[in-house]
Structure 1
Amino acid sequence: MTSHDPAVVTVGETMVLMNPKETGPLQYVSSFGKRIGGAESNVAIGLARLDHAAAWVSRLGDDPHGRYVRDTIRGAGVDTRSVRFDPDAPTGLMFKERRATGEGGVLYYRHGSAASRLEPGDVPDEALAGASYLHLTGITPALSDTCRDLCTDLVERCTDLGVRVSFDPNLRFSLWSESEMRETLLPLAAAADVVLPGLDEGEVLLGTDDPREIADEFRERGASEVVVKLGEDGAFVAAEGVAERVPAVSVERVVDPIGAGDGFAAGYLSGRLDGRPPVEAAERANAVGALATQVTGDIEGLPTRDELAAFLADDGRDVDR
């Protein structure tokens, strides 16, 4: 790997995120802050903040929104050289909603977006060369048939290129049916080296919400490492010779839970890139995921390495982890 090669390559859609400045139903909200939101770019930014070289590959509309997304991600230290601007399709847009109860939702305007036109040729072998990991989520293959083809093609090529695949199911029920999810995502998970499911995803894809059963099933299908996200209960790690629950890192309150899973993925991959065994990598993942919930926005709470060390020290944990 040269100094210019990313350690992790991520591929997927990032949209302009309109974050409300007030609580209440969207139809009555008049003020928003403009940010970005996308699972794969969140992971890339999380890794960059932890001092790892990361790249994000996608298509964006050849419009002001697309340039804003690209510039924001590039400004966070992520390699965006393989991003394409599509003159024939727009950049996706989403609006967050916050309720006084703390609950919220997201309204998407992504149908026919530039990213939905991603296809295998958009990620050449040169974009993957030298990487340790490719990180994918279950969102990308849900966007279109060509995106599905891209994901299948990528995991096959990574096997040939010696690049490990990290896969987060990250189910989006608004994009497709549960049967389509299972048909498409289970083969992708089977081809991955690292699978990062949540309990709800285990229930949908495998028919069980038992962490050990989820981990065992994904490992039997082909994954070498499975880390099941348990929210406030931490994580369950299963790998060669390991089957262990890792306790959560406690926080006083959750400000915004969206993005915690992406922070978890970034933390886990960071730990593995640093040579940490799966359990220690999961400890880091829990900490990064917890910090991501402390501010509004998908990326604003992702910590630097120094911030992570300080947080773990305050929690009484081994900062070297």
Structure 2
Amino acid sequence: MTYNDVFTLGETMVVFQPDQYTPLDYVHTLPKKIGGAESNVAIGLARLGHQVGWFSQVGADPFGRFVLKTIRGEGVDVSTCQTTMDAPTGLLFKEQLSPEDVNVYYYRNQSAASQMKPEQLQESAIANAKVLHVTGITPALSESAYETVMKAIEIAKAHDVLVTFDPNLRLKLWSEERAKAVLKEIAEHADVILPGVDEGEFLTGETEAEAIVKALDPQGVKTIIVKLGEQGAYYSANGQQGIVTGFSVKQVVDPVGAGDGFAAGVISGLLRGEPIEEVVTRANAIGAMVVGMKGDIEGLPTDEAVSQFLTTGNEQRDVKR
């Protein structure tokens, strides 16, 4: 049994993304990649030097094999993953008309990952981790996927494993009513919450970061970091609150995956025991680095690259308390 710093679970799809800014109906060549919020975070953490385990279910098809080979090749433990002949691996087509104008088309209905079940989880893989990372995407896939996420959280809480949660709101997958109920339920159990300001507004009705934090955590016992885009992030942790401004980006090439890079940066900083301002700074830096490269995982940096970025971009760092 491998003992990992972090365990996560979710669907990873095969991503077809053209190299040019062109409507998909005029594209004739589609390179094959992978993409999935949780595996993005897992790969990001592995590149930062952490041991990470990822659970999912893929189809017994070439796409499923491609997903497992790719994630395993990035140094992530996929030994608990399941393969099924009863459903296909999910697919995603990404259309990018400009750096900021991205359309995503999912072919994941009744996918293999949507049919994952709680009994497929290996309890020891979660119990022996330091962090369980979950998002709001997986519980939206199906009732059994929701039950699997909740079971993972139950195991984590029983073994004092830190639970980190990125809401990752995807209203294409479920109704607003169901999304709000489930995301709030997960937030109640999470120790660390990483909403974007729009997700915070969706969950609480508040528009300001400080008010969002108070609504999500009236007792002030959680770590909450609200992503503010290019402005940086607002944090509340251990009685401290403040804003860490972001890093300027010369050119946004592909914004998809920046939030996953941010989450990897937060989790990495927490595992290192860094002060909260440094945790958020690291996360901001990784988010800025990710948007400079096309693809979900291609821009995720190594620890050495992050250190170099922080050194060269240190004059842009601004911590406000």
**Both proteins in one fold, TM over 0.5:** yes
The residue aligned with 1:229 is: 227
Query: Structure 2-normalised TM-score?
Result: 0.96
Which one of the candidate residues 171, 174, 186 is aligned to 1:173? Answer: 171
Taking only the aligned residue pairs, the percentage that are identical comes to 48
Please say if residues 56 and 113 of structure 2, whose CA atoms lie closer than 8 Å, have aligned partners that are also in contact: yes
In structure 2, what is the Cα distance between the partners aligned to 1:224 and 1:67?
Answer: 38
Secondary structure at the aligned position of 2:234 is classed as strand
The residue aligned with 2:269 is: 271
For residues 74-89 of structure 1, the aligned pairs below 5 Å read: 74-89=72-87
In structure 1, what is the Cα distance between the partners aligned to 2:245 and 2:11?
Answer: 32
Which amino acid in structure 1 is aligned with residue 23 of structure 2? P
Q: Please say which of residues 239-248 and 101-110 is displaced more in the overlay.
A: 101-110
Shift of 1:230: 0.4
The residue aligned with 2:68 is: 70
Shift of 1:268: 0.4
In structure 1, what is the Cα distance between the partners aligned to 2:173 and 2:10?
Answer: 14
The residue aligned with 1:258 is: 256
In structure 1, what is the Cα distance between the partners aligned to 2:55 and 2:200?
Answer: 28
Shift of 1:131: 0.7
Which amino acid in structure 2 is aligned with residue 10 of structure 1? T
Shift of 1:215: 1.2
Which amino acid in structure 2 is aligned with residue 76 of structure 1? E
In structure 2, what is the Cα distance between the partners aligned to 1:275 and 1:155?
Answer: 22
The unaligned stretches of length 5 or more in structure 1 are: none
The residue aligned with 1:194 is: 192
The residue aligned with 2:42 is: 44
Query: Structure 1-normalised TM-score?
Result: 0.96
Secondary structure at the aligned position of 1:215 is classed as helix
The residue aligned with 1:22 is: 20
For residues 44-193 of structure 1, the aligned pairs below 5 Å read: 44-100=42-98, 102-193=100-191
In structure 1, what is the Cα distance between the partners aligned to 2:165 and 2:9?
Answer: 11
Which amino acid in structure 1 is aligned with residue 152 of structure 2? L
Q: Please say which of residues 26-35 and 213-222 is displaced more in the overlay.
A: 213-222
Which one of the candidate residues 288, 309, 312 is aligned to 2:310? Answer: 312
Please say if residues 51 and 76 of structure 2, whose CA atoms lie closer than 8 Å, have aligned partners that are also in contact: yes
In structure 2, what is the Cα distance between the partners aligned to 1:23 and 1:84?
Answer: 36
1:209-266 deviation per Cα after TM superposition (whole angstroms, max 9, x unaligned): 2100111122227861000000001000001211101110222111100000000000
